């Protein structure tokens, strides 16, 4: 009996320390819901506007309750650029390959810089620090990438030049410093493991949150990039275009057409549903990548929650 | 690196001084990255010379040839357009002051949210909210400017229509896009709103990397939630916070062009609160694509960034010798 | 660190030795490259080029590759030393004057030798000599002195500016808008009627003038020397002044402000762009067009135009769209001649010109008969097929001669829903433009970088314009307002060195005019 009370009390005590008070929980939850709504509402509006008819926008302006729904904008997008499907696949391919490359380059460098005993550590910290601030500029990079390295009009032009970043390397380094204790590596070394094996089999698995974080950043960066395509892919190599570039040039074209109605076939000036098409473009480019977010999220959401602490 | 920290390192790593073999192995591990840096960052680096030249291309000759054989040295002339500008003071003020505010809020808010995030009972709710908070990151500033305009437009904007904001002086609706006081704060809000979800991620990942046993030990000692945060979470987040701080400080002369130019719809009346260095450079070179001047501006931003980073590094190491970048 | 330096030096040497001259094709067909705006290329570009090249090979032994780039891509490409044989160029695309000054383009009129006349006589004859003269550039510091650096596209070369208005409203209100007006203020009664009509029927819109950004062409009739620093001469004069010294322009700003105060102009116009404005509510709009151009089909309501400026013949208008040859062609005369021959063909041959503009006949477009009211065939016009609309719509104004290009029509204009296409518009245009007044400074180019480099001043002025101009142009501020209007802007521009720029421009202009005599 008394023992029962004891364990009960103990459990209560634990609960007291692991969980915030219910009132606090409500307050925090409310705060998060509030923030989530502030962030969700505009995005939701994008979706609704993209599904509204152009006429409804004209009359009511942006509204969550359009007078008339229409798929016109999406139809226009599909119709305008027959290579949009191909571009979609390109973007996925570039994003996956690029993210993998990026993870390899940043994690190896980050790991090297995180080892306190690495003799060249200081040199290489400066080595990656300088390019973070100074760059040779567009023309110099263009000359190297397009002419010396021959990347022009290849998929590699959209992958390699942006696969590494000092910012990511340094974040990686900091993660490794705090989460990979030296002792683990030392003991592995005593067991006779080579550094590369230690890195792949021991360091990476315990650094999944870091890998997921940088992987997420890389994925988004690749998905959203269109500058590389603009400069390194010729205008008539349609089959290499990534999605973002197709959308951006379509957008430019719409504004160009509506500015220069003289050059247009009579009767077409008003047929471009420009406002809704713009929003539809956002939907097309955001939805796929937003769907990938929960996949990454599960790795950097802490396992240290109430349930996780064993009793 | 100060003497003290070196000593500490040595003490910690007793019996494990890296052998030259270890060094070689680590070097080989990051060799591909090193080659990447040489090719894509260092090889084009000669381009910075353009900031001190009056570059003239020559068809059929490479950039490098034209840079050295066809272009005059002009010393620091290319920097004049920034330094001598009547906007120089405004530029410095807006760029640096906003950045200070952004750096402080950019650490305070995501760290707080990342810590609070783990305290929500319902995991599902927490994850869903966090996912939604990421959405603004996907919306480009141009798209954001459409919404802002839908709210703030003078005649059809939601705000003016709901609250009938009428300026007594003119008898017309209030012109929000000329209201510098309002935008001063609103720009800060927009910045926080757009970056919140994104910058939380790094701290969330750091927290999830913390060894669970630490909390268990704290529990046995009867530490309260606040004590756990204060004595475990925050100290272990310190290296990440420090690094994020140092890197943000390096960009103190740079600004988010989209925020200051696109989100404000380039309103001329707001110039005094939106003219950051990048915005000025863009406007100044709108009609002449002058690589010399734009390179000079970038170079200046880099030099200042370099100095402030080194300064921030010293500062951080004074507080925590382990947390610096170098 | 040392290793790094030596590596970079080695790399630098390798790069220095390399150059990227294009290699001429080995066989007897000459391969030419031509840069056009805008990126990306039309979807069916390769297909059309294949079709076109079959014709070109046979006719002149040439194969053309058209590369589509945006303006900053061309800039990067030229800066990096890449070479294409021909370039579309003008003030706002592939900076013509800068590239001429930098020696990127070949001079076609050197040492008294006229390459166009010599190598492509038909091309020379396709345009009046006055047009060629206006296409010339001047300057002591040009690599080869004054000369002709590009072939102008023969199109609406003499700017004429109109205000388009909703004719039904004028008719209903019994207001007669003249075909030509001298002062914008003459339109005030019409705008008042439009405003009243809008109040009675909100479906029409809220503001008679609904514009995104400054109306296009507020400053026409001022003869610009430099749009960047807003200097030029009052048309017909040779004294260099600031734009704000032109009373006509100031009057337009004041009228705009008057209209704004009357509530005729949408309040947020400086914040909008032309495409963020609802096109159907454009009951009043500004445009550069020509007599015979009809906005009715594209606007969807009965439009009429009233002319407020032009036609003027000046270099600014003629140099609005040109095609230049790369200076590297000077080393390969055979290829240069072929490139010239190519330009001659596209500017004089209707079949080739139509392919460039519309694509493959039968696939991308069709020739259709245009009938007059009595049902007699007047001639042919082009109607694009759906495949053409989707697959091949390049910029037409950057290619070649409009006079020989077929007029484009749509089903609606052929079946009588809208007025039939005016097949004669270009002939009429070119005949009346020939008599248009010619600028007193025609052929003059201001070199703002030599001998004095004004880049810094230009940069500051550009930023100042970004702060003040659109509010002044849209009438949101009073142009005479000492704080936000012209006086403030002008004072700051002068502090940035405007007067030095004017003095130097005057010096260069005087020297040019003296040399011309």
Give A270-282 pLDDT, tens digit per residue: 455 677 888 888 8
- Give contacts of B219 with chain A, Cβ < 8 Å: 14, 17-18, 309
Q: How many residues does chain C have?
A: 517
For residue B113, with 0-12 CB atoms within 10 Å meaning exposed, 13-18 middle and 19 or more buried, which class applies?
buried
* Through-space distance between the first and last CA atoms of chain C, rounded to whole angstroms: 62
pLDDT at residue B35 is higher than 90:
yes
> In the predicted model, is pLDDT for residue C303 greater than 70?
yes
Does residue A134 sit in helix, strand or coil? Answer: coil
Question: What residue spans define the domains of chain B?
Answer: 18-75, 79-319
Q: SS3 of C100, please?
A: helix
Residues C147 and C33 in one domain: yes
- Chains touching chain A through at least 3 C-beta pairs below 8 angstroms are B, C
Residue C462 domain flag: yes
B148 interaction partners in chain A (CB closer than 8 Å): none
pLDDT of residue B165 exceeding 80, the answer is: no
- Determine the distance from the C-alpha atom of residue B219 to the mean position of all C-alpha atoms in its chain, rounded to a whole number: 37
Phi, psi dihedral angles at C276 (to 5 degrees) = -90, -5
Contact assignment for B247 to A132 by CB distance below 8 Å: yes
Domain count across chain C: 2
Could you give the ipTM of this predicted complex?
0.88
Structural domain contains residue C469: yes
pLDDT at A172: 93
pLDDT digit string (tens) for C319-338? 889 999 999 999 999 999 99
Say if residue B3's pLDDT is above 80. Answer: no
- Res C129 pLDDT > 80: yes
Mean pLDDT of B94-101: 96
Distance CA B116, CA B118 (A): 5
pLDDT of res. C195 = 94
Which residues of A fall within a CB distance of 8 Å from B235?
Answer: none
Contact (Cβ atoms closer than 8 angstroms) between residue C451 and residue C219: no
Q: What is the mean pLDDT of chain B?
A: 88
Give the closest of A38, A117, A308 to B18, CB-based. A117
- pLDDT, position A277: 84
Distance CA(B216)–CA(B222), nearest Å, equals 10
Nearest to residue B99, comparing CAs of B317, B206, B248? Answer: B248
Query: What is the CATH T-level fold of the domain B79-319, as seen in this structure?
Result: MetI-like fold (1.10.3720)
Of A49-63, A164-178, C47-61, the range with the lowest mean pLDDT is A49-63
Chain A environment of C287 (Cβ under 8 Å): 262
Q: CB C39 to CB A79 under 8 A?
A: no
Least-confidence region, from A123-137, A220-234, C16-30: C16-30
Q: For an interface test with A, which of B42, B159, B194, B208 has the most A Cβ atoms less than 10 Å from its Cβ?
A: B208
Res. A50: pLDDT tops 70: yes
B293 touches chain C (CB under 8 A): yes
User: H or E segment at C328?
Assistant: none
* Lookup: tokens for A179: 């989460």
Report how far residue B193's alpha carbon sits from residue B191's, in angstroms, rounded to the nearest whole number.
5
Among A54-68, B120-134, B187-201, C2-16, the range scoring the smallest mean pLDDT is C2-16
Residue-wise pLDDT for C20-63, tens only, equals 434 444 468 999 999 998 888 888 999 999 999 999 999 999 99
Please state, as a whole number, how many other Cβ atoms lie within 10 Å of the Cβ of residue C238. 16
User: Which B-chain residues 154-173 have CB contacts (< 8 A) with chain C?
Assistant: 154-155, 172-173
pLDDT, position C279: 54
Question: Is A283's pLDDT higher than 80?
Answer: yes
- Does C472 map to a domain? yes
Pairwise CB contact (< 8 Å): B288 & C95: yes
With CB atoms and an 8 Å threshold, state whether A20 touches B126.
no
Residue A218, pLDDT > 90, answer yes
Nearest Cα of chain A lies from the Cα of C20 at a distance, in angstroms, of 9
Of the pLDDT bands very low, low, confident and very high (cuts 50, 70, 90), residue B5 is very low
First to last CA, chain B: 7
Report the distance separating Cα C460 and Cα C73, nearest Å: 25
Alpha-carbon gap, residue C195 to C178, rounded angstroms: 19
Q: Is the pLDDT of residue A173 over 60?
A: yes
Q: Which of residues 221-280 of B touch C (CB under 8 A)?
A: 265-269, 271, 275, 280
Confidence at residue B155, expressed as pLDDT on a 0 to 100 scale: 80
Helices A22-51 and A72-80, interaxial angle, to 10°?
Answer: 60
Q: Which residue has the higher pLDDT, B175 or C390?
A: B175
Share of chain C above pLDDT 90, in %: 53
A-chain CB neighbours of B20 within 8 Å are 119
The average confidence (pLDDT) of chain C is 87
Residue B7 confidence class, pLDDT cut points 50, 70, 90: very low
Q: Which DSSP string do the residues of B91-112 spell out, in sequence order?
A: HHHHHHHHHHHHHHHHHHHHHH
Interface test with B, best of A30, A32, A281 (most B CBs within 10 A): A32
- Measured over the CA atoms of residue B169, residue B174, residue B179 and residue B181, the dihedral's sign is positive
CA distance B69 to B259: 40
Among A235, A259, A270, the residue with its CB nearest the CB of C280 is A270
The domains found in chain A, sorted by start residue, are 7-53+59-71 (no CATH), 73-300 (1.10.3720.10)
Place of tokens 């698995």: A205
User: What pLDDT is recorded for position A264?
Assistant: 42
Share of chain A above pLDDT 90, in %: 39
Alpha-carbon span C31 to C173, nearest angstrom: 62
Look up the domain containing C497 and give its range. Answer: 455-516
**Residue-level pLDDT at B14:** 40
Note whether residue C416 is domain-resident. no
Do residues B18 and B27 touch, judged by C-beta distance below 8 A? Answer: no
Domain assignment of residue C201, yes or no: no
Residue-wise pLDDT tens digits, B106-149: 999 999 999 999 888 888 899 999 999 999 998 889 889 988 98
CA-CA distance, B160 to A64, in Å (whole number)? 19
Looking at residue C133, its pLDDT comes to: 85
Question: Which one is predicted more confidently, B321 or C346?
Answer: C346
- CATH, residue C351: 3.40.190.10
Residue C199 neighbours by CB distance under 10 Å: 10
Res. B101: pLDDT tops 50: yes
Q: What's the pLDDT tens digit per position in C180-214?
A: 999 999 999 999 999 999 999 887 888 899 888 88
Q: How far is C327 from chain B (nearest CA, A)?
A: 7
- Bridge partners of residue B30, in order along the sequence: none
Q: Tens digit of pLDDT for each residue in C211-229?
A: 888 888 899 889 999 999 9
Q: Give me the pLDDT at residue C27, please.
A: 61
Distance CA B105, CA B97 (A): 12
Query: Which whole number is the average pLDDT over A182-201?
Result: 85
**What integer is the mean pLDDT of A165-181?**
90
pLDDT tens-place string over residues C224-279: 999 999 999 999 999 999 999 999 999 999 999 999 999 999 888 898 876 666 55
Q: Do the domain assignments include residue C175?
A: no
| DSSP string for C395-413 | -STTTS-STTSPPB--HHH
Query: What's the order of all strands across the beta sheet hosting C241-242?
Result: C222-226, C231-234, C241-242
Partner-chain contact B131 A293, CB within 8 Å: yes
What is the Cα–Cα distance from B302 to B20, expressed in whole angstroms?
35
């Amino acid at each position: 009996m008394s023992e029962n009370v004891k364990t009960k009390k103990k459990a209560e005590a634990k609960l007291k320390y692991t969980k915030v008070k219910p009132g606090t929980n409500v307050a925090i939850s409310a705060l998060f819901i509030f923030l989530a709504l502030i962030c969700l509402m505009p995005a939701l509006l994008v979706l609704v506007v993209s599904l509204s008819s152009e006429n409804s926008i004209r009359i009511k302006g942006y509204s969550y309750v359009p007078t008339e729904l229409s798929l016109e904008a999406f139809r226009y997008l599909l119709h305008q650029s027959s290579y949009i499907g191909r571009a979609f696949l390109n973007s996925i391919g570039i994003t996956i390959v690029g993210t993998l490359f990026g993870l390899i380059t940043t994690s190896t460098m980050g790991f090297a810089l995180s080892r306190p005993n690495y003799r060249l550590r200081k040199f290489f910290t400066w080595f990656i620090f300088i390019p973070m601030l100074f760059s040779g500029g567009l023309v110099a990079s263009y000359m190297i990438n397009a002419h010396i390295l021959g990347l022009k009009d290849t998929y590699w032009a959209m992958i390699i030049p942006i696969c590494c970043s000092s910012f990511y390397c340094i974040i990686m380094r900091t993660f490794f410093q705090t989460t990979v204790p030296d002792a683990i590596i030392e003991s592995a070394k005593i067991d006779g493991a080579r550094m590369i094996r230690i890195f792949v089999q021991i360091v990476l698995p315990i650094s999944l949150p870091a890998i997921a974080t940088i992987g997420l950043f890389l994925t988004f960066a690749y998905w959203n990039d269109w500058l590389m395509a603009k400069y390194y892919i010729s205008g008539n190599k349609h089959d290499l275009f990534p999605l973002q570039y197709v959308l951006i040039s379509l957008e430019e074209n719409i504004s160009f057409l509506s500015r220069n109605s003289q050059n247009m076939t009579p009767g077409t000036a008003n047929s471009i549903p420009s406002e809704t098409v713009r929003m539809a473009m956002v939907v097309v480019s955001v939805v796929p990548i937003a769907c990938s977010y929960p996949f990454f999220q599960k790795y950097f959401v802490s396992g240290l929650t109430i349930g996780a602490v064993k009793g | 690196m100060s003497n003290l920290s070196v000593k500490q390192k040595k003490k910690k790593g007793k019996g494990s001084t890296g052998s030259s073999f270890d060094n070689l192995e680590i070097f080989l591990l990051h060799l591909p990255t090193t080659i990447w840096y040489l090719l894509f960052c260092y090889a084009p680096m000669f381009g910075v010379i353009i900031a001190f030249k009056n570059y003239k291309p020559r068809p059929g000759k490479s950039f490098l040839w034209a840079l050295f054989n066809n272009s005059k040295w002009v010393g620091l002339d290319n920097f004049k357009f920034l330094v001598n500008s009547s906007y120089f003071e405004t530029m410095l003020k807006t760029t640096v002051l906003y950045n200070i505010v952004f750096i402080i809020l950019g650490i305070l808010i995501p760290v707080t949210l990342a810590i609070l995030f783990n305290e929500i009972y319902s995991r599902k709710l927490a994850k869903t909210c966090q996912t939604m908070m990421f959405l603004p990151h996907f919306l480009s500033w141009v798209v954001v400017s459409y919404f802002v305009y839908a709210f703030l437009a003078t005649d059809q904007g939601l705000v003016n229509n709901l609250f009938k904001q009428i300026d007594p002086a003119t008898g017309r609706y209030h012109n929000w896009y000329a209201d510098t006081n309002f935008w001063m704060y609103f720009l800060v809000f927009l910045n926080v709103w757009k970056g919140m979800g994104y910058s939380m991620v790094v701290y969330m990942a750091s927290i999830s990397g913390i060894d669970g046993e630490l909390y268990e030990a704290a529990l046995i000692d009867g530490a309260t939630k606040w004590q756990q945060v204060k004595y475990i979470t925050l100290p272990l987040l310190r290296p990440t916070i420090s690094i994020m701080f140092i890197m943000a400080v390096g960009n103190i002369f740079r600004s988010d062009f989209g925020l200051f130019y696109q989100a404000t719809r380039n309103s001329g009346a707001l110039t005094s609160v939106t003219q950051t260095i990048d915005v000025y450079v863009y406007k100044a070179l709108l009609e002449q694509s002058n690589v010399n001047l734009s390179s000079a501006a970038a170079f200046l931003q880099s030099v200042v960034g370099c100095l402030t980073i080194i300064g921030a590094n010293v500062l951080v190491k004074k507080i925590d010798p382990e947390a610096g970048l170098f | 660190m040392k290793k790094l330096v030596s590596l970079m030096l080695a790399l630098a040497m390798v790069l220095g030795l390399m150059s990227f001259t294009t290699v001429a094709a080995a066989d007897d067909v000459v391969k030419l490259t031509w840069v056009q705006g805008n990126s990306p290329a039309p979807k069916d570009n390769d297909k059309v080029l294949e079709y076109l090249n079959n014709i070109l090979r046979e006719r002149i032994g040439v194969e053309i590759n058209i590369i589509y780039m945006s303006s900053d891509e061309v800039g990067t490409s030229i800066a990096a030393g890449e070479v294409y044989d021909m370039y579309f160029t003008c003030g706002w695309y592939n900076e013509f004057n800068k590239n001429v000054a930098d020696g990127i383009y070949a001079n076609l009129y050197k040492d008294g030798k006229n390459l166009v006349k010599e190598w492509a006589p038909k091309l020379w004859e396709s345009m009046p000599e006055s047009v060629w003269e206006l296409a010339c550039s001047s300057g002591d510091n040009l690599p080869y002195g004054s000369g002709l650096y590009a072939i102008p596209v023969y199109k609406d070369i003499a700017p004429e500016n109109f205000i388009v208005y909703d004719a039904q409203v004028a008719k209903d209100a019994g207001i007669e808008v003249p075909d030509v007006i001298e002062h914008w203020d003459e339109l005030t009664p019409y705008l008042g009627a439009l405003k009243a009509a809008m109040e009675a029927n909100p479906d029409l819109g809220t503001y008679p003038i609904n514009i995104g950004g400054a109306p296009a062409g507020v400053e026409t009739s001022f003869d610009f020397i430099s749009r960047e620093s807003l200097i030029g001469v009052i048309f017909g004069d040779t004294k260099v002044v600031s734009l704000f010294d032109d009373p006509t322009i100031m009057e337009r700003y004041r009228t705009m402000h008057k209209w704004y105060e009357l509530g005729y102009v949408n309040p947020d116009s400086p914040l909008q762009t032309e495409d963020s404005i609802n096109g159907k509510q454009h009951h009043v709009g500004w445009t550069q067009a020509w007599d015979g151009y009809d906005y009715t089909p594209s606007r969807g309501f009965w439009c009429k135009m009233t002319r407020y400026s032009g036609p003027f013949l000046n270099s600014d208008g003629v140099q609005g769209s040109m095609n230049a040859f790369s200076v590297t062609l000077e080393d390969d005369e055979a290829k240069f001649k072929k490139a010239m021959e190519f330009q001659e063909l596209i500017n004089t041959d209707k079949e080739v010109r139509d392919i460039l503009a519309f694509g493959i006949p039968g696939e991308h477009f069709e020739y259709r008969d245009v009938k007059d009211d009595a049902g007699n065939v007047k001639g042919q016009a082009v109607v694009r097929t759906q495949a053409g609309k989707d697959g091949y719509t390049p910029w037409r104004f950057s290619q070649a001669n409009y006079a020989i290009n077929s007029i484009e029509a749509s089903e609606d204009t052929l079946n009588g829903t809208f007025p039939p296409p005016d097949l004669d518009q270009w002939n009429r245009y070119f005949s009346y433009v020939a008599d248009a007044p010619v600028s007193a400074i025609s052929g003059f180019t201001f070199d703002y970088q030599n001998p004095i480099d004004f880049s810094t001043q230009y940069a500051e002025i550009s930023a100042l314009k970004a702060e003040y101009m659109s509010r002044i142009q849209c009438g949101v501020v009073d142009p005479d307002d000492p704080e936000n209007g012209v006086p403030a802007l002008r004072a700051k521009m002068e502090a940035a060195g405007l007067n030095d720029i004017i003095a130097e421009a005057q010096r260069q202009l005087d020297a040019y005019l003296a040399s011309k005599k």
